[in-house]
Amino acid sequence: MKTSKKMQEVITQLAEKHGLDLTNKGTCLRLHMPHYDRLVVEVLHDNLISVAHVYEPRPDVRVADPGIVFFTGYGPWIPVEVNQRIGGYRIYAVLSTDFEDVVSLLKERQADLASFAEMWAQNIEDQGWLEEGVVV
């Protein structure tokens, strides 16, 4: 299993800056920055965190592009699924019913997703979200 150390680092910094508890299921951070789609971080479950750029073509429509769900149950963040406008929704790991373990994994595809998550995390940092992102 490949992890995304950079995404974990960047999102942890954003969470600390804006007071988001990454262990509290249901909490959400929505950030705005001119010229970019919103950056949204949601705690979906004790061991699942979603990071997404959210495009809103209309007030009643929200599209994650991209959106990655990370399994956090082992400490290091493991990207397990992705949603994109082009490419659609893909799952690269199956979790146990209690979301405590990774049961199976598509190793090569999950590794590719981890590489993509690392690149995206660097982009988030380079674009200035840590300094310029404003809570919506």
Distance CA 94, CA 67 (A): 17
**Contact (Cβ atoms closer than 8 angstroms) between residue 33 and residue 130:** no
Q: What is the mean pLDDT of the chain?
A: 95
Q: Residues 6 or more apart from 131 whose CB is under 8 A from it?
A: none
pTM for the whole thing? 0.94
- Chain length of the chain: 136
Report the pLDDT value the prediction gives residue 61, as an integer from 0 to 100: 82
Report the pLDDT value the prediction gives residue 58, as an integer from 0 to 100: 82
**Contact (Cβ atoms closer than 8 angstroms) between residue 9 and residue 19:** no
- Dihedral sign computed on CA atoms, order 130, 33, 82, 62: positive
Report the pLDDT value the prediction gives residue 20, as an integer from 0 to 100: 94
Q: Is 125 helix (H, G, I), strand (E, B) or coil?
A: helix
Report the pLDDT value the prediction gives residue 86, as an integer from 0 to 100: 78
pLDDT tens per residue, range 66-123: 999 999 999 999 999 999 887 889 999 999 999 999 999 999 999 999 999 999 999 9
Query: Residue ranges of the domains in the chain?
Result: 5-135
